[in-house]
Amino acid sequence: MSRQNQLLRGSPEEQGIPSSAILSFLDAVKKSKQELHSFMLLRHGYVVAEGWWTPYGPERPHMLFSLSKSLTSTAVGMAVAEGRLSVDDLVISFFPDEVTKEIEENMAPLRVRHLLSMGTGHAEDTMGRLRGQKEGNWVKGFLDAPIEYSPGTHFVYNSGASYMLSAIVQKVTGQSLLDYLQPRLFEPLGIEGATWETCPRGINSGGWGLSIKTEDIARFGQMYLQKGIWNSKRILPQAWVEEATACHISNAGGSNNDWAQGYGYQFWRCRHGAYRGDGAFGQYCVVMPDQDAVIAITSGVDDMQAVLNLIWEHLLPAMEDAALPSEHIAQKTLERRVETLTLPPPRRQPNSSVEVNVSGKRYELEENENKVQAVSLVFQKNVCVFTQWDNRGKHPISCGIGEWLEGETTVTGNPSRVAASGTWSNEHTFVMTWRFVETPFYDTIVCHFEEDRLRLESTGNVSFGSKDHPSVQGRMCKD
């Protein structure tokens, strides 16, 4: 990254925030048991506090989920500025080969602005139809979805609409969303190594699937705060920034809910005059124009409103217009705190006498939904190597004993960076935690040993469905 793209650093007090307020925010995060993975707080263009909870780190990208939508909106704004499309263009005009008489009658009034503002007129998210499209043609899946309301009159959060924005950008530019943004947004802001999931036909998903680093999120937010300017150069028209972050559709207003303040162009309006992009399980880019502040957060939480509440309760009221006197003791305390943030591994317990009898033994499992056929645990000094066999092959994962051990694993599918740790919780039970450090997710795996039997239990921290998976029984193979 070039020096000009590095964010400036400064003390909180120099930028009008007491260090004690940031400490109060971190204390409240810990007390509320909201699992943050990282945060960066910017004021007047300076990073005044930043931290990563070990085993997460600044060098790691993090899965953004729907925070991706705000960058999709940005790509549309750039394409509009280049004269490639207009927000008033009809959606069906971009896909003439897909349009039938029925589609034309159904989709005739739908415009790009309706996709941007989640006012497509659908009664529910269209993603089920997209993923269910047999030929992998998600565009056709969207166009086939019946519209129940007049576009622009009814808000429904619709990731299928975001996907269509990506498809439109690719249609008018001849490039994927990721490739289109590379020279226009990512390179100017110093965002390196971005990845974006695609549909079966190679179109970036648009509404989710982007992974970038926490500081990348912060730079993106700061560019928006600066009305599209970065390093004295215009990246995005000011008119688009203002239009994209304004309220375009009501979503059942509510004074104490940051999901009921109206919706812009793939941005949420917030209380206190702020706006944000956000993603499932606690990925945030919060822009506070009135306070000239940006907050970037990655996390793995169930209650996303709770995290915003902590910002409004502890950081917002502490922001003053002028610089503050130095809080030397609080500053030093804050520096130490952010350097030592951690999500501790399972507490190490004395080794079990069972360990020597089960180490290296292969356990054949009963039939299960994950199609895992067998597992083994090999205990070495300060390490347990867990291996899973399934229809895809052999998948080891190394767990530190009482500490995080980072590596790569294919245990859940595609190769993933993981920090894993394990310990005996009692004489017959070994507990592992697998943190997939580029995502919001971690799994807790409990292994109960009894004579030649093994019972495996697995629980996730956050999920769109059930967090608990059915337990699986296994029996030790005979030598």
pLDDT at residue 4 in the model? 62
Q: What is the rounded CA–CA span in Å between residue 211 and residue 94?
A: 28
SS3 of the chain: the string is: CCHHHCCEECCCHHHCCCHHHHHHHHHHHHHHCCCEEEEEEEECCEEEEEEECECCCCCCCEECHHHHHHHHHHHHHHHHHCCCCCCCCEHHHHCHHHCCHHHHHHHCCCEHHHHHCCCCCCCCCCHHHHHCCCCCCHHHHHHCCCCCCCCCCCCCCCHHHHHHHHHHHHHHHCCCHHHHHHHHHHHHHCCCCCEECECCCCCECCCCCEEECHHHHHHHHHHHHCCCEECCEECCCHHHHHHHCCCCECCCCCCCCCCCCCECCCCEECHHHCEEEEECCCEEEEEEHHHCEEEEEEECCCCHHHHHHHHHHHHHHHCCCCCCCCCHHHHHHHHHHHHCCECCCCCCCCCCCCHHHHCCCEEEECCCCCCEEEEEEEEECCEEEEEEEECCEEEEEEEEECCCEEEEECCCCCCEEEEEEEEEEECCEEEEEEECCCCCCEEEEEEEEECCEEEEEEEECCCCCCCEEEEEEEEECCC
Model pLDDT for residues 300-338, shown as the tens digit of each residue = 999 999 999 999 999 999 999 999 999 899 999 999 999
Would you say 183 and 190 are in contact if contact means Cβ atoms under 8 Å apart?
no
Model pLDDT for residues 151-179, shown as the tens digit of each residue = 999 999 999 999 999 999 999 999 999 99
Model pLDDT for residues 396-406, shown as the tens digit of each residue = 999 999 899 99
Using a pLDDT cut of 90, give the percent of the chain over it: 92
Domain extent listing, the chain: 3-339, 355-476
Tell me which of 3.40.50.2000, 3.40.50.2300, 3.30.450.20, 2.40.128.20 is the CATH number of domain 355-476.
2.40.128.20
Average of per-residue pLDDT across 177-185: 98
pLDDT at 253 over 90: no
pLDDT at 223 over 60: yes
pLDDT at 93 over 80: yes
pLDDT at residue 159 in the model? 98
pLDDT at residue 177 in the model? 98
Q: What is the rounded CA–CA span in Å between residue 444 and residue 412?
A: 13
pLDDT at residue 255 in the model? 76
- What mean pLDDT, rounded, does the chain reach? 96
Model pLDDT for residues 13-61, shown as the tens digit of each residue = 999 999 999 999 999 999 999 999 999 999 999 999 999 999 999 999 9
pLDDT at residue 368 in the model? 93
Using a pLDDT cut of 70, give the percent of the chain over it: 98
pLDDT at residue 151 in the model? 97
pLDDT at residue 479 in the model? 66
pLDDT at residue 3 in the model? 57
Q: What is the rounded CA–CA span in Å between residue 322 and residue 416?
A: 45
Model pLDDT for residues 422-472, shown as the tens digit of each residue = 999 999 999 999 999 999 999 999 999 999 999 999 999 999 998 988 899
State in words which class domain 3-339 has.
Answer: alpha beta
pLDDT at 2 over 80: no
**pTM to 2 decimals?**
0.96
